[in-house]
Structure 1
Amino acid sequence: MKGVATAGRDAPPARRGPVVAALMLGMGLAAIDGTIVSTAVPQIVGDLGGLSVFSWLFSGYLLAVTVTLPVYGKLSDTCGRKPVLITGVVLFLIGSLLCAGAWNMASLIAFRVVQGLGGGALQGTIQTIAADLYPLKERPKIQAKLSSVWAASSVAGPAAGGLLAGYADWRWIFLINLPVGLVALWLIVRNLVEPPRPATDGTDGAHARVAGAGRSRAHVPGAGRPHAAARARVARTGAPRARVRVDWPGALAVFATGALLLTALVQGGVAWPWLSAPSLGLFAGAAALGAVTVVVERRAAEPIIPGWVWCRRTIAAVNLALGALGLLMVAPTVFLPTYAQSVLGLGPIAAGFVLSVMTLSWPITAAFSNRVYSRIGFRLTAVLGISIALLLLLAFPFLPFPGEPWQPALLMLLLGGALGFFQLPLIVGVQSTVPYGERGTTTASVLFCRQVGQSIGAAVFGAVANGVLASRLGDSGDLDTLARALDDPGSLTATAIDQLRRAVDAAVDHVFVGAAGAAALALLVLLTLAPRRFPVLKEAAGDED
């Protein structure tokens, strides 16, 4: 069977099937491993010890995924999508196998970092290949499928981890990745074929941008007929490809800067106080390395984070808007389960359902969004989605105390629908403004900003919640401590329980107000920075009216 070329959009849809299946399997692996460990922590700590550092099981994976996204994005543009994706899957599987054989907590944390190094390649490259395979009009369908897989895997992760740890052994949490990953790897190796990539790839591509109608039948992603003809000549003559230049100093600088910054954000207020020497030292080190990174990247021939990522209005606006999305998503994903258990008195499974309804509406509106942005444009569609999300987030503090489970569940159902109209049009739109040779870097840039926003949100909103609790209860403990106390309230009086629940309710209300502020920031960015019409390439013109 012949492979599916990423440039061959005129190929029959059935030919894409194995590649799409591989992308969905890879997306599921990357998503589920971000959450599957959470419910197995007691078993892991009981077996390996290391209670004081177990949070690094999550932080280490998140760090590795986030800081490698820009590196893999650039490598996918310079070296090709397929080798980067294969490398990511192999690293992920090696990390999974090593995690299953960990002998103490330190080794498990180190191997989780190896997993994350592979997960970074999976996240960014899968989104890029999905854009390569489909023209603009069809991209919402594949992106909705990937969003569904991501959401379902993230929500199913804790349940799957608890089942495997409770009825088998916690090591199966990682071993289960091997057969799934091997199937994805086999499908990629066998079916994904990239076109020859001449030296003209990776150019600015500004000559190909248009804002109006006039659909082109170009078969090469993000390029007009000259690029397609050049590739055909290379394929016929066997001309050598240009030597790939990889900015390894820039990659190291980006990795080090991101590692220090995210460590400061993730561990600040947890492992040490925010104003302590370790926290201030990490932030200072991140700032210094950030300055070094700017110098290194300005001098590099093929920088990992090129200047145009922030100089082009469209990409800069989407970067900031999705960074705000990552920040606001912390409120429902991190704090809503605590609210459902501590305030509403639900069990862990029922609390999970209050959040999971978001995953029902998000993919539906994401798939439907192409009918909206084809009429009113990417920007206005995203403005519509984030405006509705802003109102829904502001509505959360007005829920009655203690309320009924269906009330926050309804808000989450509507919020998922609103964000489906916000995120997907921005990702599809920004991918459609760059040529093939810039799409990997662009996709990785927006995903990186979303991940960093999530890390900042966890730090900021955690501090907000604990500050509210301190003002109401004094030094009675942080949100996690109070949540555990309410899970086992046998030693508490009815008055004390009510006081604690009201304090948790107030803390989560403040977090949702902060999330509404992040939504307002995203709305402001779209209204002031984003162009009214995205400069879509010729191959996509006509799909956005």
Structure 2
Amino acid sequence: MNQTEPLSQVGDPTLDMGEPLQMMPIEEAPTMEGRSNLRVFLVMMALALVLFCSALDSSIVSTVLPTISSDLRSAAGYVWIGSAYMLGYAAASTVWANLSDIWGRKPILLSALVLFFGSSIICATAVNMPMLIAGRAILGTAGGGMLQMVNIIISDIFSVSPMPLVHLAFPSSSRMLIDFKNRRRSLFLGLLEIVWTIAGALGPILGGALTQSLSWRWIFWINLPLTGFAFLVLVLFLDVHNPRTSPMVGLRSIDWGGTICVLGIALMLLIGLNFGGVTFAWNSAQVICLLVFGVVTLPLFIYCEARFARMPLMPLDIFKKAHNSAIFIITFCHSAVATGSDWFLPLYFQATRLASPLHSGVLLLPIVISSSLMSGVVGFVIHKTGRYIEIIRLGNVLVLLGIGLFVDFDSSSSLTKIIAYQIILGLGMGMLFFPPLLALQANVSSGQTAAATATFGFTRSMSASVAVVLGGVLFQNGMNVQQPRLVAAGLPANITDAFKGSDAGANVLLVATIENPEHQREMQNAFSDSIRHIWYLYTALSAVGVVSCIFVKKHVMSEVHTEVKTGLEGNRAQEKKP
């Protein structure tokens, strides 16, 4: 069958906005004009629910870690409960996209949901810390796949371009009737980022509420009805191209070399950083070997992608343009700040304001509301104008300002200051959740959109993992440094010992039980000073993001959209397209 070619290359500034639309034949892939509004609504609702579950589990444990550690009698597992999810999230994120290129989006998304469902049961029934950590690692692997597939499916079925004003003015235009449903990628990404932001910040509140009213195990049980409902809706209503690739042919097409390398890089670097200064000394053989081999594996990964990969995890051509590399740097910096602030602000609230798990989650509402509202506004603006570069630049500046102000937090900061600083950071964060993804997709070919989206997701996931791990290391090392000061202030040995290194975060709720007011104030100061090191790190990363904006360029968003055909034949066809 002859295949209709797109009118112009993605990002081509010479695009003629007045030529008639040429459609991909219906046999190639489902098209948006063939889907009813009800079907689109149900699919988007299910995808939003999938994204909600993925984001919720990244933060729902943050306020209840002390309770879980106490219940399972393992203070050493405090950091690993969160890190295990992030490890799985980052390590396997690109692999999911590669599998979906071979076997199609729908079966891979459904597989991720099944894995998420099963691992939630493992976590909810954990009888010891190793079982919980293993369950969280599998849960993170599935959650990363869910995030990747939602972004890729949205990018597959909706156009990146805004609706031209001329078509809004003349609704009888055939172009308007054909393309109206396609031209909503920025709008839907904006709405889904609102879901992501709300879920990520609602996690601490919901986790605290469930733990106080029922049990911490319910933070995992609630995943079952949510993922089960989403699974059912997607089975019935998600209609995307199904290549029906046979298992054996598909297995031979997997980028095994790249998969092994990227898993090795992510796991060795993140585990090495997690061990450093806590489980083992930074100059220990264990930490040095993990970090060195993690870095050394990177050139091997590049070599495998360039020479052997039939369907590479990360096409190296994407990184040859300064614009794309700058987008990945901005994404890394933004994700680190967004995840780190959601993770460590509750710890700050519990230590300095003696907040309960539920109350510490409520204190996050300023950053939740401001970032959610801004995400919606940004989605609407880009949907109408197609402009993203000004939003990216302003967002980076606001993030730098907001997280920089966090350095001013101490043990006696007023509630007004806490709310104001969070709002500034939240506004900047809301401007950067998805515009960088649109900027990236506008500068790659249609055949590279899925791989570019997967690489974007991997960057975001890896950054979130690094932010939590490094933040935890800085905090724990900071608490170790504070020990002489606490001893000099007269705190008893049984109290100071409870707040050494990795035990500090797990025992944060004990700060409220210190009876001597002066001793309690000293401990609050120790927590505040230790957490400040985390804000310094995130401020430095935000500054890198601001500088990277220099290399982000304007690109015309392609007005023509053809849905992606997956599978081996579809991949070859997409590679021939601009």
TM superposition score category, shorter chain reference: 0.7 to 0.9
The equivalent of 1:98 in structure 2 is 122
Take 2:63 and 2:402, find their aligned partners in 1: how far apart are those partners? Answer: 30
How far apart are residue 487 of structure 1 and its match?
2.5
* Unmatched tracts of structure 1, length 5 or more: 200-240, 541-545
Distance verdict in 2 for CA 1:375–1:196, change over 3 Å? same
Residue 54 of structure 1 and its aligned partner are, at CA, apart by 5.4
Give the Cα–Cα distance (whole angstroms) in 1 for the partners of residues 474 and 141 of structure 2: 31
- Please state whether the residue corresponding to 2:546 is helix, strand or coil: helix
- Residues 1:36 and 2:49 are matched in the alignment: no
Q: Which residue of 2 aligns with 1:487?
A: 512
Aligned with 1:305 (options 291, 309, 314):
314
Given the alignment, which residue of 226, 239, 242 partners 1:193? 239
Gaps of 5+ in 2: 1-28, 163-183, 487-499, 562-578
Match of 1:127 among 145, 151, 155: 151
Partner residue of 1:270 out of 278, 303, 315? 278
Q: Which stretch has the larger CA shift, 515-524 or 163-172?
A: 163-172
Cα deviation for residue 181 of structure 1 reads 1.3
Task: Say if 2:334 and 2:545, in contact at 8 Å, map to a contact too.
Answer: yes
Aligned twin of 1:351: 360
**What letter corresponds to residue 537 of structure 1 in structure 2?**
S
Kindly state the Cα deviation for residue 154 of structure 1 after the two structures are TM-superposed.
Answer: 2.5
Q: Which residue of 2 aligns with 1:403?
A: 413
Equivalent-residue separation in structure 1 for 2:324 and 2:359 (angstroms): 39
Q: 1:33 offset after TM fit, Å?
A: 2.1
1:328 paired to 2:337: yes
Matches within 5 A, 1:44-443: 50-53=74-77, 55-136=79-160, 137=162, 138-195=184-241, 245-299=253-307, 300-370=309-379, 372-373=381-382, 377-398=387-408, 402-443=412-453
Deviation per CA, 1:311-369: give whole Å up to 9, x if none. 23333221111111122235522332233333344443333222222111212222222
Distance in 2, matches of 1:164 and 1:400, equals 29
Q: Bigger CA drift: 357-366 or 261-270? A: 261-270
Structure 1 residue 16 corresponds to structure 2 residue 25 = no
1:519 and 2:561 aligned: no
- Cα deviation code 1:89-138 (max 9, x no counterpart): 11111222333444543333333333223212101111121233333333
Q: Please give the alpha-carbon distance, in whole angstroms, between the structure 2 residues aligned to 1:8 and 1:337.
A: 43
Task: State the 4+ residue runs in structure 1 displaced beyond 6 angstroms.
Answer: 196-199, 241-244
Correspondence for 2:50? 26
- The number of aligned residues is 492
With 172-181 and 463-472 compared, the bigger mean Cα shift is at 463-472
2:524 is aligned to 501
Cα RMSD over matched residues?
Answer: 3.3
The offset of 1:196, in angstroms, is 6.6
* Distance in 2 of aligned mates of 1:514 and 1:524: 16
The 1-side partners of 2:65 and 2:473 are apart by 24
Between 291-300 and 466-475, the greater mean CA deviation after superposition? 466-475
**Higher RCO, 1 or 2 (CA under 8 Å, sep at least 6)?**
2
Q: 1:534 aligned to 551, 555, 560, which one?
A: 555
| Contact 2:189–2:379 (8 Å) recurs in 1 | no
Q: Cα 1:345–1:99, aligned 2, differ >3 Å: closer, same or farther?
A: closer
Compared CA separation, residues 393 and 401, structure 1 to 2 (3 A): same
Letter in 2 for 1:175: W
Counterpart Cα distance in 2 of 1:416 and 1:111? 31
The aligned counterpart of 2:24 is: none
Distance 1:98 1:472 in 2: 38
Are residues 178 and 424 of structure 1, via their aligned partners in 2, closer, same or farther at CA, if it must alter by over 3 Å?
A: same
Structure 1 CA distance for aligned equivalents of residues 63 and 411 of structure 2: 28
SS across alignment from 1:288: helix
SS state of the match for residue 58, structure 2? Answer: coil
Instruction: Give the TM-score normalised by the residue count of structure 2.
Output: 0.76
Counterpart amino acid of residue 139 in structure 2? Q
User: How far apart are the structure 2 equivalents of 1:162 and 1:369?
Assistant: 31
Shifted more, 30-39 versus 413-422: the winner is 30-39
Measured against aligned partners, the alpha-carbon deviations of 1:181-226 in whole angstroms (never above 9, x if no partner) come to 1211111111111147799xxxxxxxxxxxxxxxxxxxxxxxxxxx
Shift of 1:163: 4.5
Using the alignment, how far apart are the partners of 1:247 and 1:196 within structure 2?
Answer: 20
The answer to whether the Cα contact below 8 Å between 1:344 and 1:403 also exists between their aligned partners in 2 is no
Identity of aligned residues (%): 24
